[in-house]
Amino acid sequence: MRSGLEVQVADLLDELEVDYTYEGTKLPYVIEHNYIPDFQVGSIFLECKGYFKSSDRRKMLAVQKANPELDIRFVFQAPNNKINKNSKTSYAMWAEKHGFPWCAYYAIPISWLKQ
């Protein structure tokens, strides 16, 4: 159980001999938000990331899923940084795995900027 309250409720249900399951069902849900890209150059959206936290990665996957026609590209400050201290996956590897073009901030391809 995740909390003392849940333990207390489970104890009550047990005492009353109520059949139950604990966290036995997953229910999908969607939270609607708006994404504001950092830069738009022609039809390309540039998202600049220094620290690429897990909530940002999740958000970007949701944006990609909701807008598959958009060309979103990452500009990383440190593309070889790992997504967390226990991972072998770098920011660049994550972007490639999920189909996002990326570059380091000091090497933005001119072709991205001239449309």
pLDDT digits (tens, 9 = 90+) for 72-90: 999 999 999 999 999 999 9
Using 50, 70 and 90 to split pLDDT, how confident is the model at 98? very high
Cβ within 8 Å of residue 41, ≥6 positions away: 112, 113, 115
State residue 1's pLDDT score.
73
Nearest partner of 75 among 97, 54, 44, judged by Cα: 44
For residues 95 and 54, give the distance between their C-alpha atoms in angstroms, rounded to a whole number.
13
Secondary element (H or E) of residue 83? none
Residue range 28-113, CATH number: 3.40.91.30
Task: Report pLDDT digits (tens) over 13-62.
Answer: 999 999 999 999 998 888 899 999 999 999 999 999 999 999 999 999 99
pTM above 0.85, yes or no: no
For residues 11 and 5, give the distance between their C-alpha atoms in angstroms, rounded to a whole number.
10
For residues 99 and 24, give the distance between their C-alpha atoms in angstroms, rounded to a whole number.
33
